Structure 1
Amino acid sequence: MASSGWLERIMGRIGARQAELKLALRVTIAATLAFAITKAFNLPQGYWAAITAVVVTQSSVGGSLKAAIERFMGTLAGAFYGGLIAAFIPHTSLSGVGLAMIVSLFPLALLAAVNSSFRVAPVTALIMLLPPTGQAIGPLTAAIDRVVEITLGNIVGVVVSLFVLPARAHTLMMESAAKVVSLNASLIEILIGELTAEPKGRSTLQTIHPQIRAALKKAESAADEAARERKSHLTDSADPEPLIRTLYRVRHDLVMIGRASANPLPEPVLDKLGPALKSLRDETCLLLRGLAKSLRTRTTPPDASSFQTALHTFVSETEGLRSHALSHDLSYGSFGQVFALGFAFEQFRKDLEDLLARTQELAADRASEATGN
């Protein structure tokens, strides 16, 4: 029994790391294949192709394309310029090597600082200048071999990313977006708990906000890779930018709700608004979690009518405070807090509708792909 439980825990951990295991398998296949090809063509330093294949093979096809393009551009610039310096500046002595390094590295390091796509260029130039490559076979041959090997590694890395357990950046983006939305539901629970004197602790807020920011950053990075896949005609998926833009707007709305929820509502106001506020919390969380599932599976989003009804009830209750006798006994801060909360939820509703529309478009896009239209 003990061994069975131990095995189940191991399998559970493996199952939770499927994406990482697939990436590890792609990297291993890409490096091995690249090295085997260099040996088949008798390239002198085939390990550079294997190293490049490892560097280029990323978690998604779009990420691999980006890495391959940057690696190739940097290598081409470094090999060309480093080869020229190696050919025209004698570097058989220590002082000659030092001068050649200064002349080659400074402009390439400046280029890499201006454009990070060329960050491998200084490394390539340095390899061109130092033995044995540059001196054993000549600068021109060394430059050509270097570019050929890096190009081969780029091609193998991208091809393996495309055909060995491929992970599309669009899928990774949707998973990250779903995580953002799910975390937003947890955040709503905490914020409304602060208002209704059911706090889960300020430390929980300090934990969940960094998680949301990290998930948003990951979704944005995947969206950039997905856009690269679209430009390369590797996918017909919808433009990812509107979804990311909407997620950031929803994030801003939740910050506004958080500011309006900084203090618990006064007891008389809570007696009147508490039921509507808790209903709004429940319906909002239910909708967000359903929406997260729809994003993850790219299916039709859930119906928002219950959320709309709960929000309308809450707003009506807050408006009722204007004529209610309670309003005369409220402090200016408490009265403002109630209406700031209503305004923030109204803005949240508008952006949530936009997020639902983006999710619907993505579901329709997937349905279209499935039918081949």
Structure 2
Amino acid sequence: MLGVPWLLMQLQPRKAEVRLALRVTLAAVLALVIANLVGLPQSSWAAITAVIVTQASLGASLKAAGDRAAGTLAGAMWGAAVAALLPVHGPPPDREIAMVVALAPTAFLAAVRPSFRIAPITALIVLLPTGQVTGSPLIYALERVVEIMLGIGTGIAVALLVLPSRAHALLLASAAKVVELNAELMTALVEGLVAGEGRPGLTAIHARIRAALKQVETVADEAARERRGHFTGRADPEPLLRTLYRLRHDLVMIGRAASRPLPGEVATALTPRLTALRDASVALLQGTAEALRRADEPPGTEAFEASLKAYVAEMDALRAGGRTRDLASEDVGALYALRFSFEQLALDLRDLVARAGDHAAPALTPRERP
């Protein structure tokens, strides 16, 4: 018994994964039991479908269920039609011709609409059934549809009722990760600009941001699916996703403008302002990330606004004092591109804070936390 507390302690950081494992197991067992109770001939299809449908969030389960249902119906009906109209069990090449007729249209449909990717497999299963089949192709197809629909229904019911996890909570965690990576990128960009020591770690940071944004995009689609199904009243995830992409574009623009070290006297004047602006930006990004993760109100932008105002004032003082006249045109262009990029970043940081506020009220309920 000493091992049980230790095991529970090890699993504590993996609560979301443990809950998913329990939902998947329960859904498969329930689907199998129900299928056997109602006398379906191949109850394993119901269990397999329940496993496929039960995902990390309700939104993901709804998407998996929709794809599975669409592919099953299309493949089963077309496979049954081909089996009824063509001599599947005749001498060669009868079966091969039937396979071509069954697979070519469904494979094309799956290529055009990925949600139908199960259609060719289902068509082939109906066309070439395993075991002893005595009924008509239509009856066989209907049995497969009923089995899979039973699995879909069981999976959705378990995802909705048993330790449910909403995509909105996963969305906020994924968005917080992107915002934190943006803070890391901001630090690297300004450090390379003021220190002039190159930026060797930028490629890896950009790759992580791209991957994290893809994750947010996936979870945002799942959260939107929950909203359309009226399973949640949370804020629309699309504005937050758009803001994250705009924020990434701002940092890319800052990176391009900061690709050249600050020249001489200008560096002496601007480095303290840039350092303060970097620190304020990073603090705001990190604070917003924490607010997203906790579904709390985000921090204010006052410190960032003050540091940006001071940076712009220093830029204006340099120009008014004629200290940029002797600079190369590339350096002058980079300076003003950097200023414009920071001003654009300010707009999108304000929007990020507003979008985080949209998702903070009301706070997530315990049932909606990942």
What TM-score, normalized by structure 1, do the two folds share? 0.92
1:152-194 Cα distance to aligned partner (Å, 9 max, x none): 1101111111122222111111111111101111111000001
Q: Which residue of 2 aligns with 1:17?
A: 14
Q: Which residue of 1 aligns with 2:140?
A: 142
Amino acid in the other structure paired with 1:319: D
Does 2:170 match 1:172?
A: yes
d(CA) in 2 for partners of 1:178, 1:205: 20
Does 2:274 match 1:277?
A: yes
Q: Which residue of 1 aligns with 2:118?
A: 120
d(CA) in 1 for partners of 2:363, 2:74: 41
Task: Report how far residue 12 of structure 1 moved.
Answer: 7.7
Task: Report how far residue 138 of structure 1 moved.
Answer: 2.9
d(CA) in 2 for partners of 1:303, 1:198: 32
Amino acid in the other structure paired with 1:152: L
Alpha carbons 1:97, 1:129 under 8 Å: kept: no
Q: 1:170 to 1:177 in 2, by over 3 A?
A: same
Q: 1:341 to 1:51 in 2, by over 3 A?
A: same
d(CA) in 1 for partners of 2:103, 2:148: 20
Q: Which residue of 1 aligns with 2:259?
A: 262
Match of 2:103 among 102, 105, 109: 105
Task: Report how far residue 38 of structure 1 moved.
Answer: 1.1
Residue 363 of structure 2 aligns to a residue in which SS? Answer: helix
Task: Report how far residue 133 of structure 1 moved.
Answer: 5.6
Residue 99 of structure 1 aligns to a residue in which SS? Answer: helix
Amino acid in the other structure paired with 1:68: A
Does 2:74 match 1:73?
A: no
Give % identity.
Answer: 51
Q: Which residue of 2 aligns with 1:350?
A: 347
Q: Which residue of 2 aligns with 1:183?
A: 181
d(CA) in 1 for partners of 2:365, 2:50: 34
Alpha carbons 2:88, 2:94 under 8 Å: kept: yes
Equivalences for 1:187-336 in 2 at 5 Å? 187-197=185-195, 199=197, 202-336=199-333
Q: Which residue of 1 aligns with 2:28?
A: 31
Q: 1:139 to 1:46 in 2, by over 3 A?
A: same
Answer 1 or 2: higher relative contact order, Cα 8 Å, separation at least 6: 2
What TM-score, normalized by structure 2, do the two folds share? 0.92
User: Structure 2: any 5+ residue segments left out of the alignment?
Assistant: none
d(CA) in 2 for partners of 1:265, 1:211: 28
* Worse-superposed segment, 349-358 or 138-147: 138-147
* Worse-superposed segment, 237-246 or 356-365: 356-365
Q: 1:204 to 1:21 in 2, by over 3 A?
A: farther
Structure with the larger helix share: 1
| CA RMSD, Structure 1 to Structure 2 (Å) | 2.3
Residue 261 of structure 2 aligns to a residue in which SS? Answer: coil
Q: 1:12 to 1:206 in 2, by over 3 A?
A: farther
Task: Report how far residue 13 of structure 1 moved.
Answer: 6.5
Count of matched residue pairs: 364
Alpha carbons 1:58, 1:64 under 8 Å: kept: yes
d(CA) in 1 for partners of 2:189, 2:129: 63
